[in-house]
Chains A and B, each alone.
Chain A
Amino acid sequence: MADESLFEFLHMEIVSHIFNEQQSSKGEMDNKDRAACISLLEAMGFRVGQGLIERLTRDTPSFKDELDIMKFICKDFWTKVFRRQVDNLRTNHQGTYVLQDNKFALLTQFSSGKQYLDQAPKYLAFSCGVVRGALSNLGLESVVTAEVSIMPSCKFQVVIQKL
């Protein structure tokens, strides 16, 4: 068992490393560079999500449909990874899901409110990747984005890509 504060510090170091690395090679960062950093973090999360879901579903009966998978993500997966359940799951029944977490684990270190909203995306990219990686290994290709309107609550939007 590891400790969450150690993970939080590691995550912060990863985020700052990725951004520093980009900055030192480019000098000035524009929006495109920032987007590159975000997608790099997302890709790292993706790989982690893929590995995690394999281990977490080892003893789980197979899922009967998409909604069943999403429920598993919101309950078991979220509890194992982000240490609480998703507070609210909404769907339009056409492949779009909104997962709301009112106290998202990786945002609790920020002061609550709106002051640091612009910093939020870089601390959420990794988690978006984790969720996308998990879904991908369960056979669902998706696009996962996160949105914060007030810290530390966060909405993840999952759009399943129909093949």
Chain B
Amino acid sequence: MSRQSNRTTDSKKMNSELFTLTYGALVTQLCKDYENDEEVNKQLDKMGYNIGVRLIEDFLARSSIGRCQDFRETADVIAKVAFKMYLGITPSVTNWSPGGDEFSLILENNPLADFVELPDNHSTLIYSNLLCGILRGALEMVQMAVDVKFAQDSLRGDNVTEIRMKFIKRIEENLPAGEE
């Protein structure tokens, strides 16, 4: 085993198995805490949202990416920079809607779902729903309201994992009353 090797190249990189297994432990715990898959999905999304609203700051600080011109550029930044930086994968961006307000991220392999098999009694569990929450939370902090959901999931027998993102609106900055 080549210990000591690429350790110094990037100190921010860590063992992804720790992340994957920890995430697995969380989902397992949520399945114990809640009665049905719906509730678990909702909770995962909520936790993701909490992560996203804070992660965006880390992302902007470290990537030094500026303002995106349009939603297409946003899509590229998410796939090529953000996913690469945090999960080490680069999903492909496809299936644009004619209006250019909706696209899909196709994940060839999903690091969250390594070592995972869904038991039969959890057929409606959206295992990686945390990702949707993260994307929604992060984009909300840069004034973009989006709808994010899993369209396909290889854990549930689909060929690939597909996250569908739909642009809803720009969030206008509302200054608190009395501040100008």
B17 touches A9 (CB 8 A): no
Q: Is B51 an interface residue (CB 8 A)?
A: yes
- Interface size class, chain B: 35 or more
B86: contacting residue among A2, A13, A44, A76, CB under 8 A: A2
List chain B residues, Cβ under 8 A from A48. 18, 21-22, 24-25
Least CB distance from A81 to B in Å reads 6
Given contacts A44-B26, A55-B17, A60-B1, contact A2 B88 (CB under 8 A): yes
Contact with B along A52-76 (1 / 0, CB 8 A): 1001001110000000000000001
A6 touches B22 (CB 8 A): no
How far, in angstroms, from A26 to B31 measured CA to CA in the complex? 19
Q: Is B87 an interface residue (CB 8 A)?
A: yes
Q: Which of B15, B16, B26 has the most CB of A within 10 A?
A: B15
Q: Is A110 an interface residue (CB 8 A)?
A: no
Number of A-B contacts defined by CB within 8 Å: 98
Contact with A along B33-59 (1 / 0, CB 8 A): 100000000010001001100110010
List chain B residues, Cβ under 8 A from A4. 12-14
A81 touches B18 (CB 8 A): yes
A13 touches B87 (CB 8 A): no
B87 touches A3 (CB 8 A): yes
Least CB distance from A159 to B in Å reads 24
Contact with B along A75-98 (1 / 0, CB 8 A): 010011101000000000000000
A11 touches B43 (CB 8 A): no
Q: Is B3 an interface residue (CB 8 A)?
A: yes
List chain B residues, Cβ under 8 A from A51. 17, 21, 115
Q: Which stretch in A14-22, A113-121, A139-147 binds the other chain?
A: A14-22
B10 to chain A: closest residue by CB? A1
List chain A residues, Cβ under 8 A from B3. 76
B14: contacting residue among A7, A14, A45, CB under 8 A: A7
B22: contacting residue among A3, A11, A18, A76, CB under 8 A: A11
Given contacts A10-B22, A51-B21, A52-B18, contact A2 B111 (CB under 8 A): yes
Given contacts A76-B3, A80-B15, contact A9 B22 (CB under 8 A): no
Q: Is B23 an interface residue (CB 8 A)?
A: yes
- Interface size class, chain A: 20 to 34
Chain B stretch 108-165: residues in CB contact (< 8 A) with chain A: 111, 115, 130
B7 touches A2 (CB 8 A): no
Q: Is A160 an interface residue (CB 8 A)?
A: no
B25 touches A3 (CB 8 A): no
A46 to chain B: closest residue by CB? B25
B51 touches A10 (CB 8 A): yes
Q: Is A40 an interface residue (CB 8 A)?
A: yes
B112 to chain A: closest residue by CB? A2
B22 touches A1 (CB 8 A): no
Q: Which 7 A-B pairs have the closest CB atoms?
A: A2-B16, A2-B19, A1-B88, A44-B25, A59-B1, A9-B51, A48-B21
Interchain residue pairs with CB less than 8 A apart (26)? A1-B13, A1-B14, A2-B14, A2-B15, A3-B88, A5-B86, A6-B87, A7-B19, A10-B51, A10-B130, A14-B22, A14-B26, A17-B29, A21-B33, A40-B29, A44-B22, A44-B28, A47-B28, A48-B24, A48-B25, A58-B1, A60-B1, A79-B7, A80-B18, A81-B15, A126-B22
